[in-house]
Structure 1
Amino acid sequence: MIDWQIANDLKQAIGADVFDEVIAVFFAEADDTLTRMMAATTAEDMQNELHFMKGSALNLGFSDMAQLCQRLELRAEAGDTDLPLAQVQTVYAASREEFSLRRAQMLD
């Protein structure tokens, strides 16, 4: 669900304090993106939100979420609007919970 090596590499590269800020911003932006995604009515809008979410997720190691967003983004790019967007919410919630629970165990 989480690629901890990516998360740890980022934390090492930017420092623990900045990492905490990045995580807080990610969670806030992800929540906003999910709201916009669920309200989207066009394939283009869905694709844009899924693309943003995928990129953000990849940067922090949220691998399951990134993979799901990738698959749905490709469908939206093909014009499909009948996407199981609730799955993104579910995977995000599970990933966020796992990340929050195991974050203290990350390397310093």
Structure 2
Amino acid sequence: MIDWDRVNELKAEVGTEDFREVVTLFLEEVDEVIDRLKSRPDSTRFEQDLHFLKSSSLNLGFATFSGLCRDGERAAREGQTAAVDLPELIAAYLSSRSEFLARVNG
């Protein structure tokens, strides 16, 4: 679910203090998009939103979630917005977020 090698690589690249800031910013921005997808899904924005989520999450090692975003982005680009499984995508993010925070803060 989480690519811990990527997490450790990023932490080494930016340092512990900046890593905390990166994580905080990532969570704020991704939570905002996830909240919008939960409360006001707009299929005309799926490709853009999923591209953002894919890129951001891949950078922080959320491998499973990023893969689902990639697949959803591709479907949206091909006009298959009905194929984007938002409940699965949101559940994957919440699981990844929980696992990530438990290990990083633990």
TM-score (norm 1): 0.89
Paired letter, 1:98: E
- Does 1:92 pair with 2:90? no
The alignment-based identity, stated in percent, is 37
Matches within 5 A, 1:37-56: 37-38=37-38, 39-42=40-43, 44-56=44-56
1:15 corresponds in structure 2 to: 15
Consecutive unaligned residues of structure 2, counting only runs of 5 or more, are none
2:24 corresponds in structure 1 to: 24
Paired letter, 2:72: L
Aligned-residue offset at 1:40: 3.3
C-alpha distance after superposition, 1:10-52 (max 9, x if no partner): 001100000001001111101111123342333x410100000
Contact 1:41/1:81 (8 A) holds in 2: no
Aligned-residue offset at 1:87: 1.1
Alpha-carbon RMSD: 1.3
Aligned residues: 104
Paired letter, 1:78: E
Aligned-residue offset at 1:104: 4.5
Paired letter, 1:97: S
C-alpha distance after superposition, 1:41-64 (max 9, x if no partner): 33x410100000000001000000
TM-score (norm 2): 0.91
C-alpha distance after superposition, 1:48-97 (max 9, x if no partner): 00000000001000000000000111100011221211111100110011
Paired letter, 1:86: P
Segments ≥4 residues shifted beyond 2 Å: 35-42
